[in-house]
Every structure is written in C-alpha cells, then in structure tokens.
C-alpha cells in the first residue's frame, strides 16, 4: 500500500480507542484528521459569507470556496466549473433535477425508466414529478442475481422515454451498472440519463465528459467528507435551460415587484448561504483520497471483502445476497433469524453493521426478503476487523 494502510487508520481518531469495528462505510464514512482540521481552520480563521461584502474575509472565503468547486470539477472530469452545483447531498441533487428539469420538460404520457435496484432517493423524486406532470415511472426489472436487467431495458426504451435514472453502483450489493452501454442507448432513443454516483464515486475514477451522463450526483459524506454537502453535475446547456428551483439571495441579478431576473450558472441553483465549510472540506477530502493510487485503494477493499465472504461461506444458515466480487459491500441474511436481531447482537460486541432494507424496498421485494445485514468497508478497515466480525458473528449465531 502507498501510503501504508496502518498509517491510514492512524489518521482516523474516531477509531483510535478500538472500542468498535466500523463496517458501515456505504452509509457514511469516518473522517480523516486532515478533513476535521480543515473544517476547524475555516471556522477559526476564514469564517465569512461568500460572494457578498467587500471585506478581506469575504474575499478569502470566496476564493477557497470557488477553488473547491474547481477541484471537484477536475475530480469528476466535468467540462466546466459552471457545471458543478453545490447541494446538501445526492438526494437534494436528484430532487433539484426532478423539480427543475422534470417539471419544465415532462408531460402526460412521457416515461421515466428507473432501475429496480435503485436507492429510494433515485425513485421517489421521479414519482413525485410524475404525479405533478402526468408522466409515468416505469421499472427496469433486475435479474434474479441482482444485476441490471439489460434485456428488459432494451425492450422498455421507446419514443416516450424522456429520462433514464440509474446508479453507478448499487448500495445493497455493490453491483456496478453497465453505464457505457446504458447511456448511449438512451441517447439513441432521445432520452436523458441521470446517474446516482453516491456509491460509485468512492470506487471508480469518474470522467463525465467520457461517461456522457446528462446529470450526475453524489454526496460528500460517503467520500470521507462531512455530511450536508453534495454535488449536482449537469451538462451546461441543460442547466442553462432549466428554471431555478429555490429562490432567495445570491441567485438573482435584480429583484423588483414587477420582475426578477436570475444570475447565470452555477449561482442560479444556489439560493441563500451555501455550506461553505462543507465545500471546502469536500475538496480537502478529495485531495486526501487522491493521495492513494486507485488500484491500491480498490485492492485493499477487495481483499477485505474476499476475507469476509470466505468467513461467511463457512455457515450453512448464512446466505450472501447478490454477491459482487471486487466490491466493498456484502449483504447477507441468516435463515430463520431477523436481520435486526443479528445486527443487535453484533453491536453488543462492538461490531457496527447496517441492517434493514437500505432505502431500497423494491430491490428487497425483488429478492423476496425484508432486509439484510450489510458490511461495507472503508480504507481504514483491516483484516483484523474482518476477523473480529467473524468471531462476533459466530458467537451471535450460537445464541440462536
């Protein structure tokens, strides 16, 4: 590893006392000390509003705030910094697209294709805008193994399809969707594509010019940054044509009771005081993350996943759901035992996992289950963490 993985763990003070093993990084990651320090530095020495006022603190805060936008633009391979919109997270980004682009462009009879494997954040906003416009949300069924239903997708695409909404990587099984095939086929049909990158951006190098997604969203808190900061990427011509979603300060040029005119990108979609500290620390988290070679990051995570899979495979009553090698996620169930009971016993032994439907009811229904126990690894996890998890699971299963 470059840097050594042991030195990585030392950067996470939340894990120093060893009182728990954190295996819930797909929900949110722990934060390295450099990110925490950058957050504190802003509030201690640079705290001011941006794009307002004439004093030196505003000028400095605006400079680092917009530099963060430039770094994010580079990180995701956007064509322009103006295509990067700050939001509270992937969920708000998806709602912004639905309420701005969707309400302006969808009408009765239009169809929105949504993968069955999606997180609720990439389903519910489309249902809401469909109810508002008369459009229809159409499910793309997944395969029995939890893979993207390619055959169904090709059959469902038609002249009525206006939008395709898919994840880069699913949060239940870690399945990577074939975006290189999904996107051009949608474009051939005249449809736009929205990609939920909340899970995928942590693992795959993203170049949005090459990917050619029309919209791409992600949250900072899954990428070792704080909560409350996210990104909406949209192709510039689409964002320019979309009406504002929220109104207030910063996003206007001139306000009068007769007429209000709006500023250009990206400010048009950033009403009010933004999460300045969040944007700055997201850039810090990205710099930290890029200090590791991508192949080293993934090799480490895949090794941990393989160790966990081997450990789970020794139990006859344990079923791994939709296993995807070379991921950082494993979801499993214990036959005859509720997933929450298993997670509770693990928690009592200091093993932190996620149990439930993972905000993916349709996916759970397709698998014919109510929920799973999910392990998800971060760069700070080690083989010793996996060993402790298997020991705790063994003790928990003996209880049942």
Q: How far is CA 178 from CA 145, 151, 170, 184, 267, in A?
A: 15, 12, 12, 11, 33
Measure the CA–CA gap between 185 and 212, rounded to whole angstroms: 12
Domain assignment present for 80: yes
Average the pLDDT over 3-13 and give the result. Answer: 83
Token couple for 158: 């038609």
Q: What are phi and psi of 58, to 5 degrees?
A: -65, -45
**Contact (Cβ atoms closer than 8 angstroms) between residue 161 and residue 193:** no
Same domain, 259 and 154: yes
* Predicted confidence (pLDDT) at residue 2 exceeds the cutoff of 90: no
At 54 the pLDDT is: 85
* Average pLDDT of every residue of the chain: 96
Average the pLDDT over 76-82 and give the result.
98
164, 186 contact by CB (below 8 A): yes
Which two structure tokens, joined as six digits, stand for 332?
A: 């499993």
Regarding whether 384 and 334 lie in a shared domain, the answer is yes
Whether residues 321 and 233 share a domain: the answer is: no
Answer yes or no: are the C-beta atoms of 198 and 90 closer than 8 Å.
yes
Which CATH number do you get for residue 308? 3.90.1150.10
Residues 227, 375 within the same domain: no
Checking if the pLDDT of 189 tops 60, the result is yes
Q: Would you state the pLDDT for residue 3? A: 52
Q: Same structural domain for residues 254 and 311?
A: no
User: Could you give the number of structural domains in the chain?
Assistant: 2
**Is residue 30 in some structural domain?**
no
pLDDT at 394 over 60: yes
Q: How many residues in the chain? A: 400
pLDDT of residue 7: 84
- pLDDT above 80 for 1: no
pLDDT tens for each residue of 367-380: 999 999 999 999 99
Q: What is the mean pLDDT of residues 143-172?
A: 97
Structural domain for 208, as ranges: 36-289
Pair 123, 234 in one domain: yes
Mean pLDDT confidence for 122-130: 98
Mean pLDDT of 142-146: 94
Whether the pLDDT of residue 35 is over 70: the answer is yes
The reply to whether 285 and 306 lie within a common domain is: no
152, 146 in Cβ contact below 8 A?
A: no
pLDDT beyond 80 at 316? yes
State pLDDT tens for residues 240-295.
Answer: 999 999 999 989 999 999 999 999 999 999 999 999 999 999 999 999 999 999 99
pLDDT at 177 exceeding the cut of 80: yes
Q: Are 340 and 284 part of one and the same domain? A: no
d(CA 210, CA 228): 28
Report the pLDDT value the prediction gives residue 52, as an integer from 0 to 100.
79
Q: Which of 289, 313, 334 is the last residue of a domain?
A: 289
- Whether 124 and 96 map to the same domain: the answer is yes
CATH of the domain at 193: 3.40.640.10
Same-domain pairing of 285 and 313: no
Same domain, 192 and 298: no
Q: Which of 255, 274, 289 is the last residue before a domain boundary?
A: 289
H/E stretch holding 234: strand 230-234
Peptide bond into 3 cis (omega under 30): yes
pLDDT at 156 over 90: yes
Last residue of a domain, one of 289, 313, 347: 289
Task: From residue 345, give the alpha-carbon distance in Å to each of 112, 198, 258, 316.
Answer: 41, 29, 63, 19
Here the tokens at position 73 are 């633009």
Residue positions annotated with a catalytic role: 359
């Amino acid at each position: 590893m470059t840097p050594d993985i042991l030195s990585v763990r030392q950067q996470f003070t939340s894990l120093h006392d060893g009182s728990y093993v954190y295996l819930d990084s797909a929900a949110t990651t722990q934060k390295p000390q450099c990110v925490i320090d950058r957050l504190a530095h802003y509030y201690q020495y640079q705290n001011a509003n941006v794009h307002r006022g004439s004093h030196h603190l505003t000028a400095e805060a605006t400079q680092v705030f917009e530099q963060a936008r430039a770094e994010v633009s580079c990180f995701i391979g956007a064509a322009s910094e103006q295509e990067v919109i700050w939001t509270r997270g992937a969920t708000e980004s998806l709602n912004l697209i639905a309420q701005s682009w969707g309400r302006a462009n969808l009408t009765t009879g239009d169809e929105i294709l949504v993968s069955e494997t999606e997180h609720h954040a990439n389903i519910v906003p489309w249902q809401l805008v469909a109810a508002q416009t008369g459009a229809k949300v159409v499910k793309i069924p997944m395969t029995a193994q939890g893979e993207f239903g390619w055959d169904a997708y090709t059959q469902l695409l038609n002249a009525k399809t206006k939008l395709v909404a898919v994840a880069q990587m699913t949060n239940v099984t870690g399945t990577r969707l074939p975006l290189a095939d999904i996107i051009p086929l949608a474009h051939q049909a005249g449809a736009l594509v929205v990609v939920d990158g909340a899970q995928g951006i942590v693992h795959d190098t993203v170049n949005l010019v090459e990917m050619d997604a029309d919209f791409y969203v992600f949250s900072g808190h899954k990428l070792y940054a704080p909560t409350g900061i996210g990104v909406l990427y949209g192709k510039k011509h689409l964002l320019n044509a979309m009406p504002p979603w929220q109104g207030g300060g910063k996003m206007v040029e001139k306000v009068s009771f007769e007429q209000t005119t709006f500023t250009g990108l990206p400010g048009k979609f950033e009403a009010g005081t933004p999460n300045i500290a969040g944007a700055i620390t997201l850039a810090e988290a990205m710099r930290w993350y890029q200090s590791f070679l991508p192949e080293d990051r993934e090799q480490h995570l895949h090794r941990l996943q393989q160790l966990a899979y081997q450990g789970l495979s020794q139990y006859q009553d344990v079923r791994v759901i939709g296993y995807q090698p070379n991921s950082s996620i494993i979801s499993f169930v214990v036959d005859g035992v509720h997933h929450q009971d298993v997670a509770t016993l693990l928690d009592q032994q200091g093993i932190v996992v996620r149990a439930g439907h993972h905000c993916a009811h349709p996916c759970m229904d397709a698998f014919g289950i109510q929920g799973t126990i999910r392990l998800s690894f971060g760069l700070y996890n080690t083989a010793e963490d996996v060993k402790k998890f298997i020991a705790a699971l063994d003790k928990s299963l003996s209880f049942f």
